[in-house]
Amino acid sequence: MQTSVRGGLEIRAAEPNDANAISALLTELGHPLEPALALTQIARIQALAPNYTVFVAVKDAAVIGLVSAFSTPVLHRALPVGRVSVLVVAGSHAGQGIGSALLRHAEQFLVDLGCGWIEVTSASHREAAHRFYRERGYAQQGVKFTRDIPERPDEKPPRETP
């Protein structure tokens, strides 16, 4: 998908040198991520192209927002489902339409991939985010359940038999 520039705001694919800014934005959102892991995650996501991407919003040469989106086939729908898994704008730039621009960019990315349905995820306590999505035509549907899978450092992989 092409880079978008409008009113001094550039939206483009994330690059490895954006890792520090992405780390800061995710920390601001409440998902702390060390810059080194952000760099690793950017590479992992880039390896899944064209079905997964991260876009960043840049203003005055600074990354001030990001959105991640991916497309996946699902058994119960004829067309792929798109998901916006992270959308965050630096608090110092909130209310300037940057989140809306990032969401539109992600939506177009997913439409271009043939998605017939788009889901967004948002923590239950983020009521302002819920309003934001409703104002843009999204409806709350269903309930999501999650479970952490604990690391098991003492568990060894099964031995191969000859």
What does the alpha-carbon distance between residue 2 and residue 53 come to, in Å, rounded to a whole number?
12
pLDDT value of position 47: 95
Q: In the chain, which residue ranges form alpha helices assigned H by DSSP?
A: 19-29, 35-47, 98-112, 127-135
pLDDT value of position 60: 93
Is it true that the peptide bond before 150 is cis, omega within 30 degrees of 0?
no
Please state which of the ranges 74-78, 98-102, 114-118, 156-160 shows the lowest mean pLDDT: 156-160
pLDDT value of position 6: 73
Domain ranges of the chain: 4-135
pLDDT value of position 4: 66
pLDDT digits (tens, 9 = 90+) for 26-56: 999 999 999 999 999 999 999 999 999 999 9
Residue 5 has pLDDT above 70, yes or no: no
pLDDT digits (tens, 9 = 90+) for 62-112: 999 999 999 999 999 999 999 999 999 999 999 999 999 999 999 999 999
What does the alpha-carbon distance between residue 63 and residue 37 come to, in Å, rounded to a whole number?
18
So what CATH class is 4-135? alpha beta
CA angle 83, 130, 81 (to 5 degrees): 15
Residues pairing with 34 in the sheet: none
pLDDT value of position 2: 58
Structural contact between residues 100 and 135, judged by C-beta atoms closer than 8 angstroms? no
| pTM to 2 decimal places | 0.87
Based on the number of CB atoms within 10 Å of its own CB, is 89 exposed (0-12), middle (13-18) or buried (19 or more)? buried
Structural contact between residues 37 and 77, judged by C-beta atoms closer than 8 angstroms? no
pLDDT grade for 144, boundaries at 50, 70 and 90: confident
CA-to-CA separations, 149 to 146, 152, in angstroms, rounded: 10, 9
